[in-house]
Structures are given as C-alpha cells and as structure tokens.
Amino acid sequence: MKKILIINGPNLNLLHLRDKKIYGEISIDKIIDECREIAKQVNLEIDYKQSNSESEIVDFIQDAIKKYQGIIINAAAYTHTSVAIRDALEIFHGKKIELHISNIFKREDFRHNSFLSEVVDGIICGLGVDGYIIALLAMHKIIDK
C-alpha cells in the first residue's frame, strides 16, 4: 500500500474559525477524516501533520523521505516566504502536490508568488476544501507514473 503524507502549515488548525467566505466552516479534522475514507477506497494510506512552525514542516518533509511515496502540502503563508520548505521538498523524490484552498491569484499580490511551485508535480488551488480530496485522487493517479 502506498503511503501519502498530508502536511498543513500555519493557521490551518483553526480553519473553521477563519474567513468563512474563503475557507467555509469545516474543520481540518473533518477534511482529514474525509481524506482517510477516500484513501481506503483507492488503497492509499495517509498520515497527517500540521504545524505553525516552519522548522517543524521542514522536519516533516525530511522524515518523509524514506517513509512516503507522496506529499500533499498546503504550506499556507509559508508558500510565499519559505525557501527552506522549498529546498526540503526538492530533496524529497516522491510525488508532490501543492494545495491551496483559496485561489491565491485572486488574493493579495504577495500571495501570487509560490516558492514551492517549481519543485512540485502539480498545484491545486481555488477549489475550496474539496481540493484535499482532488489532490488525494490525483496523487493516486500519478504516484506510480
């Protein structure tokens, strides 16, 4: 069974408390529960990590190198600021999907730049929390290619 790591960055632990127009009302725990159900159906095993700390996210990625075949990452604000997370993702040779709940290109100009995009296999943004399920299904399709 292929193993996938889902990583969420800062403030996503409080997703259900954020701007409802952008993020809706669902909690990240509920999203991950839905991902676990879909993962079972497509014969994937998923683990989930969240941190508000850039260094912890780098550690999650480094620890994933020998354990996981794919990473789905919503680095949140670190998407636009972290060369360290980008470099860690570049070292990870499994499949990688960058994920954003909102359409970062319809938001503030500083959110239009992603340090991660160059080192991932695909990007999903602007599809709301359904992006997590879409990313998981996409990972299922690309992981063996």
pLDDT above 80 (res 16): no
Question: Mean pLDDT score of the chain, rounded to an integer?
Answer: 92
Buried b (16+ CB within 10 A) or exposed e, 4-36: bbbbbbbebeebeeeeeeebbeeebeebbebbb
Catalytic residue from among 78, 100, 132, 140: 100
Q: Which CATH class is domain 2-142?
A: alpha beta
Which pLDDT score, from 0 to 100, does residue 20 have? 65
The span from the CA of 105 to the CA of 1, in Å, is: 36
Structure tokens at 108: 């503030």
> Which tens digit of pLDDT belongs to each residue from 49-98?
999 999 999 999 999 999 999 999 999 999 999 999 999 999 999 999 99
23 counts as catalytic:
yes
Catalytic residue from among 23, 68, 78, 132: 23
Task: State pTM to two decimals.
Answer: 0.93
Q: Where are the domains of the chain?
A: 2-142
Which pLDDT score, from 0 to 100, does residue 113 have? 80
112 counts as catalytic:
no
